[in-house]
Structure 1
Amino acid sequence: MGNKNIKINSPMKLIIYKYFALLLLTVTLFSSCKKIFDLPDEKDYMSNNVNFSNKILEPIIGRTNLIGGFNSDNSTNPITFEIVNVRFGDGKPVSDLFTTAPTYVWTAPYTGLEKSLAEIEAKRKIETHPIFEIRSSGEFILWPSATNQILKPRPTDSTNFSQDTRFFDVKVKNTGGERLIRDFQIRPFRERPYEPSNDFNAYTGLPAPDPNFPFDQKRRDYIRPYLNNVIGATSSLNLVSNNEKKDAVVYIRPLTSGGNGHSLRIVVLGTDSLPIDPKFFNETVWDKMIHGFNIQKTDKYVQYDVAYPIPLVEIPTSYARGGSRAKAELSYSRLGFGGTRTVGSFGVDFAIYKAGDWEIVFHFKNENPKFANE
């Protein structure tokens, strides 16, 4: 078969010997230099320009507030963050910002397709956290477990004096170094347990004045529903709700009786302040409107068992198309002129952040809707 040994001629041998000799010399010199000059191991990069886009934080107490804006300027991950030097503007210590309290944490994704309260609750658990934290992403979070009693809100007179403002610094660190970003401010607004919340003052929590008569203490502002083709029973004109005329208003308020600790009731009141039977709203798809269960329909209201907050997560679902608001919309049809069927609807895009028993009340103050055919 011939000689199986591979023969290498002398010039080739010389090249190979030189290559290995050079490689060995390089390794030896590098090792020697590290020992002689005590060269450090390679470190991560920490930019001098790491920063946050927003250093004045104005969260609303009682709901999940995620506030981002960290700019790493290409610094090497992982980066750690630590809140330090927390104080009021006059130097007084801050003791309430890191109070621990139990709060819900999701352990599986909420989709809006869950078929029961039990299925929803199986996707989250209660953990104890400081009410204010900075996450590994550099995002600040004020947990919904914060309350006005735990965390004192900003002053009711809307001032921003230094002595009323909490200041803090953030230490940003990786193996390449650390930076201290100074003088963040946090000015929390008092709890607003629902939205829209234009019916009360964000600073005082008292009823908000009528925007057209701001100094008249007898007049107040209201949540206003949208009205589409809602005709007045007396005038046969389109009803409206705006700053000038409020044919209908909305109240979002605690339910005083008939709740079970996790209920939501929808009520429509007429001009006599008595409930209008929900059967008149014959085009309303009640079971698709709210992500609720065990629907109760009476001649005075429709009520659901729900999980709070509403919406549970700010993602688009069939119950919260925009992500941040749910929708309570009632509709009805009747025969108009010429025998054509006409549909009227009204509603409000809303959120409720505080668990309990609540009701959304639509109140027709000047005229009731016209349900009769022409």
Structure 2
Amino acid sequence: MSGQPKYYFISLVLLLAVTLGACRKWLPEDLDYLSPKAGYTQKVFNPVLGRTTVYSRVFNTDNSTTPLSFRIVNVRLKSTGEITHDLEKMVPVWVWKKAYTGDEKSVAEIDAKRTQENHPVWEIREKSGDFILWNTADSTMLRQMPDPGYLFDVVVTNSGGTNTYKDISLAPMWQLPYSPAKDINPLTGQPMTEKYVNDTNQTVLIYNHPSVSNMIGDSTELPIINDSVRVLFRKTGNGSSVSFKFLNKDSVLMDPALFTKTQPLDSLIHGFNAKRSATAIRYDVAYPIPVVNFPTRWTTSDGSQANVSFAFDRKGFGGRTIRATLNFQFAIYQKGDWDVIFFFASDTPRFRDE
């Protein structure tokens, strides 16, 4: 009899194990978990229109069971609270099917690696909660600053429940089709100006500038510094090309052949069908430039901008060879026929020997 309680206890444990195993699917711990502390770490977004901008890892799951499902609801104007469907507008965007390497030999080869799809201008990734503003969303489609923009809510669900995150703000800045864009006011789209506090109280335009070294003015014999060379972006058509041009101090086009030590044309930029004339160097290109944010021999080290360099040699006093260079890093986000113009506003460079 003394052993019966022991056997009874073992039998009870076995019975409980079988019962729990049979009912395990009904236990609360088998449901997905949605943490009440999960949420967005960023709730105010001010992307620049005309550029594909991805906001990744902005949602903290706080150990919630994944995958989660995300959707945008209740989009309204921040100024009035009026419901709007602006963020649902569809735009054509490039989506990559194969990886871009920087070794492609034509625009057609690049385009064969990507396809066009229609996406909402402001899109939420359904499984991660990341936000994307697509580059084809321009200033005609969305309200932009100084307008206060939009408020919206995000509903997040899994089988464990639903959370709603309210009053997320989107207030885009004006479309800037290229970078750097110091010459454009991001709040108005108008030319950027600056007022000098001096005797005349003069207001002057702001310009983009390249990096210049070892150049002197032909007439002044003074060093040509970065700020005295202006970079102008001009869209001349709706094709798919980029041209580099040079203006002397009198706004006359210079022959690019003067820059005798510029790298070979097929190494200057990832473009094709290079043509050098007496007034420009022109390429067929795929847009945007660069086509992806990926470092290649054509770009800056982080892959965000194209990197071009123009150079020439001249003999200085004493017969010493001087290498003069002009370097510029840039991006163009809007497809078209673009001119990138270097204007030597203070003085024309001296190309001749001393």
Any idea what the Cα deviations from partners look like across 1:7-42, whole Å, max 9, x if unmatched? xxxxxxxxxx99x9789635543367669xx64571
Cα separation, 1, equivalents of 2:137 and 2:94: 12
- State the AA in 2 paired with 1:109: A
Question: How many Å apart are 1:53 and its aligned residue?
Answer: 1.7
Question: 1:279-318 maps to which residues of 2 (within 5 A)?
Answer: 279-285=257-263, 286-318=265-297
Cα separation, 1, equivalents of 2:71 and 2:243: 44
The unaligned stretches of length 5 or more in structure 1 are: 1-16
Question: How many Å apart are 1:340 and its aligned residue?
Answer: 2.2
Q: Is the counterpart of residue 61 in structure 1 residue 49 in structure 2?
A: yes
Q: Does structure 2 retain, via aligned residues, the 8 Å contact 1:213–1:219? A: no
Match of 2:74 in 1: 85
Match of 1:116 in 2: 106
Any idea what the Cα deviations from partners look like across 1:99-143, whole Å, max 9, x if unmatched? 112111111111111111111001110101111111122210011
Q: Does structure 2 retain, via aligned residues, the 8 Å contact 1:264–1:359? A: yes
Cα separation, 2, equivalents of 1:45 and 1:39: 13
- Among 301, 309, 315, which residue is 1:335 paired with? 315
TM-score between the two structures when normalised by the length of structure 2? 0.89
SS at the partner of 2:135?
A: coil
**Are the structure 2 counterparts of residues 29 and 219 from structure 1 closer, same or farther at C-alpha, using a change threshold of 3 Å?**
closer
Question: How many Å apart are 1:337 and its aligned residue?
Answer: 2.3
**Are the structure 2 counterparts of residues 31 and 353 from structure 1 closer, same or farther at C-alpha, using a change threshold of 3 Å?**
closer
- State the AA in 2 paired with 1:48: P
- State the AA in 1 paired with 2:169: Q
Match of 1:361 in 2: 341
Q: Does structure 2 retain, via aligned residues, the 8 Å contact 1:51–1:181? A: yes
Match of 1:141 in 2: 132
Match of 2:62 in 1: 73
CA RMSD of aligned residues (A): 2.5
Q: Work out the percentage of aligned pairs sharing the same amino acid.
A: 40
Q: Does structure 2 retain, via aligned residues, the 8 Å contact 1:189–1:202? A: yes
Q: Does structure 1 retain, via aligned residues, the 8 Å contact 2:294–2:304? A: yes
Question: 1:224-373 maps to which residues of 2 (within 5 A)?
Answer: 224-242=209-227, 247-255=228-236, 261-285=239-263, 286-321=265-300, 322-373=302-353
- State the AA in 2 paired with 1:275: L
Q: Does structure 1 retain, via aligned residues, the 8 Å contact 2:34–2:162? A: yes
**Are the structure 2 counterparts of residues 213 and 299 from structure 1 closer, same or farther at C-alpha, using a change threshold of 3 Å?**
farther
Match of 2:3 in 1: none
Q: Does structure 2 retain, via aligned residues, the 8 Å contact 1:311–1:326? A: yes
- Among 95, 110, 126, which residue is 1:105 paired with? 95
- State the AA in 1 paired with 2:257: K
Q: Does structure 1 retain, via aligned residues, the 8 Å contact 2:107–2:286? A: yes
- State the AA in 2 paired with 1:302: I
- State the AA in 1 paired with 2:255: D
Of the two, which has the highest radius of gyration? 1
Match of 2:190 in 1: 206
- State the AA in 1 paired with 2:138: T
Cα separation, 1, equivalents of 2:194 and 2:262: 32
